[in-house]
Amino acid sequence: MIIRLLGTHNFTLSSNGEDMAILEIFGTPEELRSFALIFFGSLIPTAILGFIQHRRKPLPLPGEQSYDITLLVLGLWCMTGLLIDVWAHTNGEVDDSFFTKWHAVWYSGATAYSGFILFALWRLADTPPKLTPSGIWNFSTNVPKGHGAAVAGIAIFTISGFADMVWHTLFGIEGGLDILLSPSHLGLLIGLILTVMAPVFSGWQDPKSGTNGLSSQLVLIFGFAAAWVPILLITGEWDIFQMSASDYCYLGNQCGPGYEDSLAIGVIGSIVPTTIATGLILTFSRRWTPATGTMLILFIFWGISNYAMEGLQFYYIYFGVGIGLLMEVLSYLFLRTSRPIAFAIALPIAMLGTRMFAALTTVPANTPWSIVAHGETFIQPYGWTIHATSGSIIISCVMCALLAAAMYPPEIPTDVEVEGE
């Protein structure tokens, strides 16, 4: 009989087992072979080298400098795999199979990264955990302070990975906005955010963390930058840096869905990325003083992530470098002088100003800088009125300032003098 699931996969079964094609849902033999070669071909040598090193000298534990270095290398492996997989999805390089070579790079890196963390925590346990459901539960819920979120993230990511395989098998590969809303993908992204921020959660509890210049903050920068990647994936449709100009521009009604809709989309696209950047950076600065170079590296990573997501457009690297340099100045002026709200107000001006300047450089020479229509003056680069062009930046500044005020509220007085005493 033939069973069709949502028009995505065909399963041909017969009573004598002939023409059984159910295994095809896992991919073609070539895809399975490529997945196995990449996944096991990278993990097995890594495990062997780790075992040999551990026999010679125990692998580093949390709090040791080489632990952060190892975590950084394995984390970059994992996130490189994710960006490669993102590129494959956005460029039509995937089919209805789960076991693709793109997934192999990502999941092998995630396995190595997570395995290293779990092995270190396993060694820190007071007694060797038992490999039973209750033993694993006791181990997971009694890890050292600052490591619980990462362990939870690893568990969520693992469960969501298997769920993603089943989901793809039953319902096919998602496309468009469905990629962002698939339950298994959301689970993967949530688990990934918690997992890659492992050095941030553990470093938060270490008084010496990030206090020895840029080198001591590299693994922390990775944690925040890597967490930013899945956030960019989720919010990209509402990010003016990732949106197509035709989605929000309006000049002479030559592009965009109409002035009001174009403006609304553009304003939302301005608020979302600046607010997210403000939240991540101010979270960092609540615990650590950004060293010189921290902001630049963070935004270069942001630029590389957008580069992978948006068809390998190299100008995203320029965006990362340019905005990163501006953030270095803002960090020096405001974060190192404990003025987070001032930083939050300046950040949208720097980010959105850079975006507008870049848009201006692409305007053809013979294009008018402004037109008058319906009693209003519409100006480049987006074709909004002067009111909306300036106001879109101001409203982003307000939203970021409100976020900063919530994160850094005024201290509540503890000693209140009572009248008459």
The more confidently predicted of residues 134 and 40 is: 40
Q: Find the distance separating the first CA and the last CA of the chain, reported in whole Å.
A: 90
pLDDT by residue (tens digit) across 162-191?
Answer: 887 787 767 776 666 776 778 888 888 899
**Which range has the top average pLDDT, 73-77, 137-141, 357-361?**
73-77
d(CA 283, CA 64) in angstroms, rounded, equals: 24
Report which of residues 272 and 365 the model is more confident about.
Answer: 272
* pLDDT tens track for 237-270: 899 999 888 888 876 445 556 788 888 999 999 9
Is the Cβ–Cβ distance between 84 and 105 less than 8 Å?
A: yes
Greater pLDDT, 341 or 136: 341
Work out the pLDDT band at 89, boundaries 50, 70, 90: confident
Q: What is the dihedral of CA 279, 284, 289, 294, to 10 degrees?
A: -90
The predicted structure's pLDDT at residue 113: 92
In whole angstroms, how far apart are CA 397 and each of 225, 344, 361, 390? 22, 7, 24, 11
Q: Report the share of the chain in percent with pLDDT over 90.
A: 42
Confidence check: pLDDT of 33 > 80: yes
**Structure token pair of residue 390:** 């300036």
Q: Is 50 exceeded by the pLDDT of residue 377?
A: yes
pLDDT attached to residue 143: 84
CA dihedral 179, 180, 181, 182 (to 10 degrees): 40
129 or 56, greater pLDDT = 56
pLDDT recorded at residue 139: 80
The confidence score (pLDDT) of residue 24 equals 52
Which span out of 173-177, 201-205, 391-395 was modeled with the highest average pLDDT? 391-395
Give the 3-state secondary structure of the chain.
CEEEECCCEEEECCCCCCCCCHHHHHCCHHHHHHHHHHHHHHHHHHHHHHHHHHHHCCCCCCCCHHHHHHHHHHHHHHHHHHHHHHHHHHCCCCCCCCCCHHHHHHHHHHHHHHHHHHHHHHHHCCCCCCCCHHHHHHHHCCCCCCCHHHHHHHHHHHHHHHHHHHHHHHHCCCCCCHHHHCHHHHHHHHHHHHHHCHHHHHHHCCCCCCCCCHHHHHHHHHHHHHHHHHHHHHHHHHCCCCCCHHHHCCCCCCCCCCHHHHHHHHHHHHHHHHHHHHHHHHHHHHHCCCCCCHHHHHHHHHHHHHHHHCCCCCHHHHHHHHHHHHHHHHHHHHHCCCCHHHHHHHHHHHHHHHHHHHHHHCCCCCCCCEEEECCEEEECCCCEEHHHHHHHHHHHHHHHHHHHHHHCCCCCCCCCCCCCC
Task: Identify whether the C-beta of residue 124 lies closer than 8 Å to the C-beta of residue 145.
Answer: no
**What mean pLDDT do residues 123-150 have?**
81
Give the residue, 421 or 127, on which the prediction is more confident. 127
β-bridge mates for residue 12, sequence order: 2
Task: With beta carbons less than 8 A apart as the criterion, state whether 98 and 169 touch.
Answer: yes
Average pLDDT over residues 60-89: 87
Report the chain's mean pLDDT, rounded to a whole number. 84
What is the pLDDT at residue 355? 93
Low-confidence winner among 132-136, 289-293, 333-337, 414-418 (lowest mean pLDDT): 414-418
Q: Which residue has the higher pLDDT, 4 or 113?
A: 113
